[in-house]
């Protein structure tokens, strides 16, 4: 940023994710030769195999595969009994699919603030958001760290509400000895190319111990029909289903990846811990914390800056983060935001772009505005932190992460110069930028506001 060489050499590249081995290629070829491509194909083995193996990995009775993680969440919520007008609690910091999944059921997303240390749902905020209409809580294990499941489950049980884990970012993470995805009434994973357990495209998995929920999920992915294990398909639709069947090629690919999943996760854990161990010595950064009773899947690494350590007042957290992010990028660290705004500030919610005013216009739904300013912890974290995504997922990324640690150290050495830049830089928080981007994109697409 101020001239000079990069801490991360240009020829040290981020390794492609998902990795693709010869074994993975053979798994895909096996399906191409089999002629059985979806869960509705008689004698299909790869999807059924993946479902069996993932249920065993997570420790649940059942697993149902679907077309992607967002569909998994819609199907799971529907199978758990969420209906139009029900309220579903969702963290205000997550991927948008966590909140559009209930909306597609005409349920009303009710957002709650996060804990600024774990970045997960704040249990006290959940308690405050519960009403007589609350039907489920979407518990996102953001970035790979399990949320406080025992506290959240206790609250949910007291009110007769379903816990639905959205474990799209947390494959393999454990909470008090149990795998995520085994604790809620019904739980979901994504197999999108970006996730820790990936497929060669899109996929999703639903896990549950409840046989009825599992049966409903298999119907919901297939037009509401029951597909018999053998014999003729009836073509009778019993429920309002979707077509979100899984694909056998993608199931076979993930099944092959799964055979190396634990070993690769262990190496990733070592690589990431070595990076975080070095950063822990730098007072300018808050590195992800892992409570002793859980493990972290390290899907995304989020770092907060500490203005006081840079000799700046708290009000400069945003500009300091922006300058540090710029400096790290100049050194070759792909520091980037994850989410520009709290979910409730997304237009689909803030401007109620649902089904022609529904579900909010349904009888008995209490109108509550969706406002960014109601989620101060999310706003604070979005402004004072940045993330590293994808670069650390490949198990051979250790040497790259060591150079990232060099880059952080170099940035810290130059803290006075960076603080001086931060103190005189005009700052626009991400969520204000998001609304400008939104206006410009809409105008470019439709020629009007």
Ligand X SMILES: *Cc1c(COP(=O)(O)O)cnc(C)c1O
125 binds ligand X (CB under 6 A): no
Query: Would residue 135 show up in a list of annotated catalytic residues for this protein?
Result: no
Q: Which of 60, 74, 94, 196 binds ligand X (CB under 6 A)?
A: 94
Backbone torsions φ then ψ of 212, nearest 5 degrees: -65, -40
Q: What's the CA gap between 318 and 430, in Å, rounded?
A: 9
Part of the chain binding ligand X (CB under 6 A), chosen from 30-38, 46-54, 89-97, 256-264: 89-97
In angstroms, the CA 125 to CA 146 distance is 17
The encoded tokens of residue 106 equal: 């005409």
* Structural tokens at position 209: 């111990």
> Between residues 392 and 415, which has the closer beta carbon with respect to ligand X?
392
By CB under 6 A, the residues from 368 to 427 that bind ligand X are none
Q: Which is nearer to ligand X, 78 or 98 (CB)?
A: 98
The active-site residue, picked from 195, 245, 390, 410, is 195
Stretch that binds ligand X, among 92-100, 267-275, 337-345, 438-446 (CB under 6 A): 92-100
Residue 196 vs 256, nearer CB to ligand X: 196
Q: Is residue 166 involved in binding ligand X (CB under 6 A)?
A: yes
Give the contact letters, 233-272, x = binds to ligand X (CB under 6 A), - = no: ----------------------------------------
| 409 burial type by CB count under 10 A (0-12 exposed, 13-18 middle, 19+ buried) | middle
Least distance in angstroms from the C-beta of 202 to ligand X: 6
Question: Residue 306 and residue 282: Cα distance in Å, rounded?
Answer: 10
Backbone angles phi, psi at 208, to 5 degrees: -165, 155
Residues 178-207 that bind ligand X (CB under 6 A): 190, 192, 202, 204
Nearest residue to 66 via CA among 87, 40, 89: 40
Is residue 98 a contact point for ligand X (CB under 6 A)? yes
Taking the complex as a whole, the smallest distance from the CB of residue 197 to ligand X amounts, in Å, to 11
Other Cβ atoms within 10 Å of 134 Cβ, number: 20
Return the sign of the alpha-carbon dihedral for residues 88, 153, 98, 381: positive
Distance, first Cα to last Cα, the chain: 37
The only residue of 60, 70, 250, 271 in contact with ligand X, by rule CB under 6 A: 70
Strand pairing class (178-179; 174-175): antiparallel
Give yes or no for residue 168 binding ligand X (CB under 6 A): yes
Torsions phi, psi for 411 (to 5 deg): -60, -45
Only one of the segments 32-40, 95-103, 223-231, 289-297 lies at the binding site for ligand X (rule: CB under 6 A); that segment is: 95-103
Tell me the β-bridge partners of 136: 88, 162
Q: Which one of residues 39, 68, 199, 341 is an interface residue with ligand X (CB under 6 A)? A: 68
Note the residues at the interface with ligand X (CB under 6 A).
68-70, 94-95, 97-98, 140, 166, 168-169, 190, 192, 202, 204
Give catalytic residues, as residue numbers. Answer: 195
């Amino acid at each position: 940023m101020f001239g000079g060489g990069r801490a991360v050499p240009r020829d040290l590249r981020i390794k492609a994710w998902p990795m693709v081995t010869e074994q993975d290629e053979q798994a895909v070829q096996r399906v191409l030769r089999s002629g059985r491509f979806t869960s509705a194909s008689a004698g299909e083995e790869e999807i059924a195999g993946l479902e069996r193996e993932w249920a065993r990995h997570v420790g649940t009775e059942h697993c149902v595969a679907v077309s992607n993680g967002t569909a998994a969440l819609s199907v799971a919520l529907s199978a758990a009994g969420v209906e139009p007008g029900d309220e579903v609690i969702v963290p205000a910091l997550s991927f948008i699919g966590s909140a559009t999944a209930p909306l597609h059921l005409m349920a009303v997303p009710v957002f709650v603030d996060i804990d600024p240390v774990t970045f997960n749902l704040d249990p006290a905020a959940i308690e405050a958001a519960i009403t007589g209409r609350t039907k489920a809580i979407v518990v996102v294990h953001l970035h790979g760290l399990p949320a406080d499941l025992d506290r959240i489950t206790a609250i949910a049980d007291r009110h007769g509400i379903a816990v639905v884990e959205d474990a799209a970012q947390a494959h393999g993470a454990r909470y008090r000895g149990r795998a995520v995805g085994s604790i809620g009434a019904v739980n979901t994973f994504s197999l999108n190319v970006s996730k820790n357990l990936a497929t060669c495209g899109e996929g999703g998995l639903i896990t549950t111990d409840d046989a009825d929920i599992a049966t409903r999920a298999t119907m919901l992915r297939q037009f509401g029909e029951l597909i018999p294990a053998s014999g003729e398909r009836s073509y009778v639709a019993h429920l309002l289903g979707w077509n979100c069947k899984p694909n056998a090629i993608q199931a076979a690919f993930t099944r092959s990846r799964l055979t190396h999943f634990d070993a690769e996760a262990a190496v990733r854990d070592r690589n990431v811990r070595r990076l975080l161990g070095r950063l822990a010595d730098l007072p300018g950064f808050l590195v992800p914390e892992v409570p002793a009773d859980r493990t972290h899947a390290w899907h995304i690494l989020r770092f907060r800056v500490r203005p006081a350590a840079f000799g700046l007042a708290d009000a400069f957290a945003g500009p300091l983060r922006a300058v540090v992010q710029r400096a790290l990028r100049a050194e070759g660290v792909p520091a980037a935001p994850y989410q520009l705004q709290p979910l409730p500030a997304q237009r689909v919610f803030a401007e109620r772009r649902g089904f022609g005013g529904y579900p909010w216009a349904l009888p008995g739904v209490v109108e509550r505005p969706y406002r960014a300013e109601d989620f101060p912890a999310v706003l604070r974290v979005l402004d004072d932190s940045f993330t590293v995504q994808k670069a650390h997922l490949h198990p051979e990324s250790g040497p790259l992460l060591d150079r990232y640690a060099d880059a952080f150290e170099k940035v810290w050495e130059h803290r006075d110069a960076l603080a001086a830049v931060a103190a005189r830089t005009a700052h626009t928080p991400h969520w204000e930028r998001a609304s400008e981007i939104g206006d410009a994109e809409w105008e470019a697409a439709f020629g009007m506001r």
